């Protein structure tokens, strides 16, 4: 069992709190992606798990063993960091085989594992080459191959694909995911690339300012973000947040957006009552609005500002009140800038958000 348990871990640099009371359990063989903007504390947390920068507070266990204050070599983990430290005086083969030799793995098994890892990373033709004769992306792949060849139960990876070109990155994403499943390692993978996170992770932990705001399956993080930050960080385009005004009339709560009234479903009414007379945010993804080219009673008339054909869909930019909203339509939907269209907001796709805290109220 290689479960990783992080309990109330805090890491400071002077007065600055880089990781703030983080708790997270990564199940045996699970692949968790740590995702967040630059400087949010992802690497600092990973380094605490690796033992490269001890936590100031809290506890970290690997497979049930408390490793909080153990040096890295006693933690039985493999790491790939952004600064892919590979040995310049060793060729690619020896670099990949390094950890295996240190662990006295026999020659045949070493050869097998080096070859398998090198093939995965498409560097099998470079085994004799020295790092000085390789590109940054190739060196990064050597570092990933070395970590994988080790066969550790716990793999920590910090932006391991960051130096690869877009096409190779796309290919490696799927291959790495398949391989990690095959070698059954418990993996924490740091990235600020949300597509990588959505496509690779069993779960995604979304971080900001040293705090994990949500940790869940990619589809849940995408469809049901816990707050405005998560909805706005995940997805391209990010989730739209429009301002609505809550009004109570004849015992019913209504929400006006751009002069159009939505009557929220009964289960939502109690959540909205305290907001009577106040603004609220409605979060909705671009692809979840329905666009009509004719008026309808339950649809808001809007004017199209920009049309961006993106192949699989067209992205419309629309102004609702003071909010700029992105709406995805089928590429066959005929529309041009300045046209009027009508928008429907399916009730089950709306996230109701407290404007001040950014917290999702419902559902």
The site for ligand ATP (CB under 6 A) is made up of 13, 16, 18, 36, 38-44, 192
SS (H, E, C) the chain: CCCEEEEEEEEEECCEEEEEEEEEEECCCCEEEEECCCCCCHHHHHHHHHCCCCCCEEEEEECCEECCCCCHHHCCEEEECCCCCCCCCCCHHHHHHHHHHHCCCCHHHHHHHHHHHHHHCCCHHHCCCCHHHCCHHHHHHHHHHHHHHCCCCEEEEECCCCCCCHHHHHHHHHHHHHHHHHHCCEEEEEECCHHHHHHHCCEEEEEECCEEEEEECHHHHHHCCCEHHHHHHCCCCCCEEEEEEEEEECCEEEEEECCEEECCCHHHHHHHHHHCCCEEEEEECHHHCEEECCCCCCCEEEEEEEEEECCCCEEEEEEECCEEEEEEECCCCCCCCCCEEEEECCHHHCEEECCCCCEEEEC
Residue 13 or residue 69: which is nearer to ligand ATP going by CB?
13
- Rounded to a whole number of angstroms, the minimum distance from the CB of residue 71 to ligand ATP is 18
- Rounded to a whole number of angstroms, the minimum distance from the CB of residue 360 to ligand ATP is 24
Residue 10 or residue 243: which is nearer to ligand ATP going by CB?
10
- Rounded to a whole number of angstroms, the minimum distance from the CB of residue 244 to ligand ATP is 33
Residue 17 or residue 170: which is nearer to ligand ATP going by CB?
17
Residue 164 or residue 343: which is nearer to ligand ATP going by CB?
164
- Rounded to a whole number of angstroms, the minimum distance from the CB of residue 44 to ligand ATP is 3
- Rounded to a whole number of angstroms, the minimum distance from the CB of residue 188 to ligand ATP is 12
Nearest-5° Cα angle at 41, 178 to 196: 25
Residue 13 or residue 87: which is nearer to ligand ATP going by CB?
13
- Rounded to a whole number of angstroms, the minimum distance from the CB of residue 254 to ligand ATP is 42
Residue 118 or residue 197: which is nearer to ligand ATP going by CB?
197
- Rounded to a whole number of angstroms, the minimum distance from the CB of residue 233 to ligand ATP is 13
Residue 94 or residue 193: which is nearer to ligand ATP going by CB?
193
- Rounded to a whole number of angstroms, the minimum distance from the CB of residue 36 to ligand ATP is 6
Six token digits for residue 208: 């900001």
Residue 17 or residue 361: which is nearer to ligand ATP going by CB?
17
d(CA 105, CA 64): 26
Residue 42 or residue 285: which is nearer to ligand ATP going by CB?
42
- Rounded to a whole number of angstroms, the minimum distance from the CB of residue 222 to ligand ATP is 21
Strands 154-158 and 186-191: parallel
């Amino acid at each position: 069992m290689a479960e990783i348990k992080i309990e109330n871990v805090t890491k400071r640099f002077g007065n600055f709190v880089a990781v703030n009371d983080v708790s997270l359990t990564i199940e045996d063989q699970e692949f968790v992606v740590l995702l967040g903007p630059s400087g949010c504390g992802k690497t600092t947390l990973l380094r605490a798990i690796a033992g490269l920068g001890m936590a100031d507070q809290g506890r970290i266990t690997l497979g049930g063993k408390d490793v909080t204050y153990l040096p890295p070599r006693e933690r039985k983990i493999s790491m790939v960091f952004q600064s892919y430290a590979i040995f310049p005086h060793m060729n690619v083969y020896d670099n990949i085989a390094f950890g295996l030799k240190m662990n006295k793995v026999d020659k045949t098994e070493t050869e097998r594992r080096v070859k398998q890892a090198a093939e995965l990373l498409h560097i099998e033709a470079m085994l004799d080459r020295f790092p000085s004769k390789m590109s940054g992306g190739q060196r990064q792949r050597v570092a990933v191959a070395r970590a994988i060849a080790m066969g550790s139960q716990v793999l920590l990876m910090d932006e391991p694909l960051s130096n690869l070109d877009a096409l190779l990155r796309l290919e490696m994403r799927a291959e790495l995911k398949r391989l990690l499943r095959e070698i059954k390692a418990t993996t924490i993978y740091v990235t600020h690339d949300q597509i990588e996170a959505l496509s690779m992770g069993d779960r995604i932990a979304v971080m900001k300012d040293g705090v994990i705001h949500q940790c869940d399956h990619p589809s849940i993080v995408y469809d049901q973000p816990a707050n405005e930050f998560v909805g706005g960080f995940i997805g391209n385009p990010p989730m739209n947040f429009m301002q609505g005004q809550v009004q109570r009339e004849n015992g019913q709560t209504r929400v006006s957006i751009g002069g159009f009234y939505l009557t929220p479903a009964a289960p939502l009414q109690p959540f909205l009552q305290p907001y009577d007379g106040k603004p609220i945010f409605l979060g909705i993804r671009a692809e979840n609005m329905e666009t009509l080219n004719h008026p309808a009673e339950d649809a808001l008339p809007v004017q199209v500002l920009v049309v961006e054909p993106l192949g699989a869909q067209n992205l419309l930019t629309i102004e609702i009140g003071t909010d700029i909203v992105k709406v995805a339509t089928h590429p066959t939907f005929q529309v041009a800038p300045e046209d009027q269209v009508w928008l429907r907001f399916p009730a089950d796709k709306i996230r109701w958000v407290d404007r001040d805290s950014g917290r999702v109220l419902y559902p």
